[in-house]
Amino acid sequence: MEFEEFSELVWSSELGRTFVGEQGLKTRAQFDKQTRRAWDYTEEHFDHGYEHGAASYEETVRERLGDLLTRVQAAPWPGRGGNSERATAVALVTLGHETNRYTVDASVRELATRAMIGRTAVGNAIGRLAAQGMFTRTRSEVRGQADTFHLFLDWAPLLPKGGHTKSYGPQEITLCVPVLVITEHPAFSAGALGKSAGRVWEFLLSRVNSEVGPTVEDIRAGTGLSANSVRTHLKNMVANGLADKRGQRNATYSASPSADLDRVAAEYGQADYEERTRERFERERKGYETLLSQREQPADVA
């Protein structure tokens, strides 16, 4: 299939109409420019080696994206930016898994909505993740539109060596989180229980079949969070019916089987987080377009 045939096929499809709307494209020429960039990048970076030893290319990519997501979720993400980096990485890999591609088109706005953190935090996290080698990024020539991220499927998070937060290197990761356990739920947004609580929740889910639940120390070691942070989040989760506590000294914890994340999100006023965020981004986008239009208009001559 040649590019012209591909472009015409996508342009006339429901997918094409959705893409045009999401990207704010006005003309067929803008659409062709965007799709041509993706077409050229795919031709340049397509790796036929993923087909070897597997039933199909699709199965191989999806499985490897699942493995990558497991490594991202299982790793302790230390430092002040750890939660943002983790949420951004999960958003990117999940998007790739949904589309069955390791080359992902996404704007900072879309990633912020998926990760449930601010755009500035996502932008900073993208820079740090790129520096660690998780992906290469091709920026869009049009502000606010999707960039292209080429994910490296064998990548693993870099962990701090010897407790020195500025010295990073590959280390063995104990995979304790099932593939595709996603906690990007409004209950764990910044306005509710928070991102770190989501990491504690994920760890509890990974141990749901264990005979003995994890202790605070187990969770601390498995998530990279401080013991005080783990205790605080566990206390809030028990109070909200998301976790059960057994014992006092060296207490163990488990994810509550009757946990209702939607109820918790609603109680914190975050049930419609994604919808409100998208609406706000859309208002900002339209405002920016109006401002550009006004600037392009010639000034009245007295």
User: How many domains are contained in the chain?
Assistant: 3
Residues 249 and 196 in one domain: yes
* Predicted local confidence at residue 273, as pLDDT: 67
Here the CATH number for the domain that contains residue 249 is 1.10.10.10
* Predicted local confidence at residue 216, as pLDDT: 93
Q: Does the residue 150 lie in any domain?
A: yes
Residues 34 and 96 in one domain: no
Residues 39 and 56 in one domain: no
* Predicted local confidence at residue 74, as pLDDT: 75
Q: Does the residue 291 lie in any domain?
A: no
Residues 59 and 42 in one domain: no
Residues 153 and 248 in one domain: no
User: One digit per residue, pLDDT tens: the chain, 302 residues?
Assistant: 677 888 888 888 877 777 777 777 778 888 888 788 777 766 665 544 444 444 455 568 888 888 888 888 777 787 778 888 988 999 999 888 888 888 999 888 888 888 888 889 899 999 999 998 999 999 887 766 789 999 999 888 765 433 333 333 444 444 333 333 445 688 888 788 888 888 888 888 888 878 888 999 998 888 878 899 999 999 999 999 999 999 988 899 998 767 888 888 888 888 776 677 667 666 766 676 676 677 666 655 44
Residues 76 and 163 in one domain: yes
Q: Does the residue 280 lie in any domain?
A: no
Q: Does the residue 129 lie in any domain?
A: yes
Distance between first and last Cα of the chain = 57
Task: Identify the domain boundary among 46, 63, 79.
Answer: 46
Task: Identify the domain boundary among 114, 144, 172.
Answer: 172
Q: Is the pTM of this model over 0.85?
A: no
Residues 200 and 164 in one domain: no
Q: Does the residue 245 lie in any domain?
A: yes
Residues 65 and 121 in one domain: yes
Q: Does the residue 298 lie in any domain?
A: no
* Predicted local confidence at residue 129, as pLDDT: 93
* Predicted local confidence at residue 62, as pLDDT: 83
Q: Does the residue 241 lie in any domain?
A: yes
Domain assignment of residue 6, given as a range = 1-46
Q: Does the residue 206 lie in any domain?
A: yes
Residues 65 and 145 in one domain: yes
* Predicted local confidence at residue 48, as pLDDT: 46
Residues 151 and 239 in one domain: no
